[in-house]
A and B are shown apart, each in its own frame.
Chain A
């Protein structure tokens, strides 16, 4: 059973002539234990997709099953509880409450769950130990470095043992060395069996992922399974928008680029998926 299952999910903003299509008929299944990286140009709908998966936002159309259960009919409070118990968020910035000590930030989801103070602090302390920041437990977020803040945010995301960790550009504000520390932590967490979904603009970071999604204009253009440790090659844009080619042509061109990449195995695996994905007409491109 998939942790995440989206069927024909769309998200529209505005109405009439001003309508923006942020997501268009997205199909996505994420299995337990995957580390999925999402890439794509700005405005392609990555954050929108994450917010819908994270139950912060609702899709305009389509079906969404989280842990096998449909979430469309959940009321706001039930959604809040589902966020608390099944989803761990790591944001790009303002990840922590500035007035709460590190340990209280980590323990906050437990507080909302109604756990007693002693137990909360103990669990939060264990979690801080896991991310290597136990000695900073009683600092305020303003006394931490950017990388430390993100590691605390990861500790908090983990505290309720969620089904999926959602990170929207977790290293977006960090320099390369802190960024590496944060990614190593995510890798560790992934190795312990957690499911991770991460948006990034840095192709380097796809090295940690087991699967990479490329989004363009509200759709998932490519979905590549890859081996962890290798960097996914950024697809060249023209290949998507080859003028009215047959399916074979497209397939070939995709295969060609794939062979170019160091990831031949992955290319084979993705081929069937790409067939479906590349069915899109270039009309949409014109529309934009």
Chain B
């Protein structure tokens, strides 16, 4: 009998496809947003943790602006979600200078963004990011150069560049454009090396290193009008054990240098992770909440269509009762129908989520991760909602008086 009810439910859903689909939109949107938001959040978290792990536990990141509130022990106690990075002054060369004098620092790489469109013959590459940095950069990132080499300290004033794999393909149209030259802001730069492809596209600052052109920061300074403004300093300690010491020392020195103003933040690998994880969790929670509301609305939709269906099928109910259906059998028929409806909704939602996930992976550098627990949870919730909201119509159907139902004009 269960099986028959199931089949009947399917056929009655099929017979009014459009109506069923519209009814299910709430459930579908709910399932899609739960799955997509959680998997996006999870994917971004993993990407960031991969990226920061790549930095290693002996690397500190200094950024302008106060992003984190920490207590005396250095634990993060608060986050400024809307950071004032834009209103605070960038890090300067003199900040770099004092940072370099800090004890137990092995190497520092400043990062400095330069605007400009690189041109090679007739080609140009709009998505290119030009970063001024120092010779220590590949070491801090533990990133190998695939072809050629990185510029050394004797070349810090020269117009030389090391490029990401994306730039090689997009700007030069070949994999190994060594010693070719391109034009940037009217200056000719020579390609010294090509980075191995960065596995995890850096997204923390919205920059994909595969599309980056790295030039010495002094050169960057001279072609962009004399001052160097760093958006980040990467500081590698000589040993992971000294990281606390270096962090404290660095903080004191830079604060001193900036006239006592603590308008900068020193992050450790796991701090960056905490920061982004907390923000992502918050966003996931918000979207998840909206999704649950959407599912509830979907449940009301199911209740509505089932009530309509019970009214439309009053004669059917009467006939079924006349030939011996008990109240329980009528009720289970309509309850199963509501449940099947919500299972459909969940199924369609899962499929759309899968496609969306694929689309995001193809068209952005985000890599959402669909976890089966989330899929099960979303489907479970929508099915439970189907049952709960299907209950009232099912009871209404079961309680119909057989003779009144048979007489109904429908």
Contact = CB atoms under 8 A, between A and B. Distances in A.
A83 B324 contact: yes
Contact of A97 (B316, B324, B326, B329): B316
Instruction: Kindly name the residue among A80, A94, A108 whose own CB sees the greatest number of chain B CB atoms within 10 A.
Output: A80
B326 A77 contact: yes
Interface string B1-41: 10110001001100100000000000000000000000000
Contacts of B316: 97
Given A76-B327, A112-B325, A56 B319 contact: no
A156 B8 contact: no
A117 B323 contact: no
Contact of A77 (B4, B12, B327): B327
B220 to A, nearest CB: 74
Contacts of B325: 80, 84, 112
Nearest to B324: A84
Contacts of B15: 99
Given A51-B403, A112-B329, A99 B12 contact: yes
A99 B12 CA distance: 8
Interface string B374-408: 00000000000000000000000000001100100
Instruction: Kindly name the residue among B11, B15, B315, B328 whose own CB sees the greatest number of chain A CB atoms within 10 A.
Output: B315
B197 interface: no
A117 B321 CA distance: 20
Interface string A47-79: 000010010110000000000000000001100
B113 to A, nearest CB: 67
Contacts of A100: 8
Contact of B324 (A85, A95, A99): A85
A51 B323 CA distance: 13
A16 interface: no
B322 interface: yes
Interface residues of B, number: 23
Nearest to B3: A117
Contacts of B315: 94
Contacts of A95: 319
Given A56-B403, A114-B1, A89 B327 contact: no
B327 A80 contact: yes
A111 interface: yes
A94 B323 contact: no
B66 interface: no
A109 interface: yes
B3 A83 contact: no
A81 interface: yes
Given A99-B15, A100-B8, A109 B403 contact: no
A91 B328 CA distance: 24
A108 B316 CA distance: 13
B402 A84 contact: no
Contacts of A57: 403
Nearest to B328: A77
Interface residues of A, number: 28
A233 interface: no
B323 A84 contact: yes
A51 B406 CA distance: 11
Contact of B323 (A77, A99, A104, A108): A108
Interface in B116-156: none
B405 to A, nearest CB: 9
Interface string A86-107: 0001010011010110001000
A54 B322 CA distance: 8
Prevailing SS type, chain A contact patch:
helix
Contacts of A113: 324
B320 interface: yes
A89 B324 CA distance: 10
Interface in A232-258: none
Nearest to A57: B403
Contacts of A56: 321-322, 402-403, 406
A117 B4 CA distance: 9
Interface string B51-84: 0000000000000000000000000000000000
A77 B320 CA distance: 13
Contacts of B4: 104, 111
A76 B322 CA distance: 12
Contacts of B329: 112
A94 B406 CA distance: 9
Contacts of B8: 99-100
Nearest to B321: A80
A156 B403 contact: no
Contacts of A80: 321, 324-327
A91 B1 CA distance: 24
B301 to A, nearest CB: 23
Contacts of A112: 1, 320, 323-326, 329
Contacts of B403: 51, 56-57
Interface string B323-366: 11111110000000000000000000000000000000000000
B326 A89 contact: no
Nearest to A168: B406
Given A80-B325, A99-B12, A111 B1 contact: yes
28 contacts: A51-B403, A56-B322, A57-B403, A77-B326, A77-B327, A80-B321, A80-B324, A83-B321, A83-B323, A84-B323, A84-B324, A85-B324, A89-B322, A91-B406, A97-B316, A97-B319, A100-B8, A108-B320, A108-B323, A109-B324, A111-B1, A112-B1, A112-B323, A112-B324, A112-B326, A114-B1, A156-B323, A160-B324
Interface of B: 1, 3-4, 8, 11-12, 15, 315-316, 319-329, 402-403, 406
The 7 closest A-B pairs by CB, nearest first: A84-B324, A80-B326, A77-B326, A56-B403, A57-B403, A112-B324, A56-B402
Given A76-B326, A109-B323, A112-B320, 6 more contacts: A77-B327, A80-B327, A83-B324, A94-B319, A112-B323, A114-B1
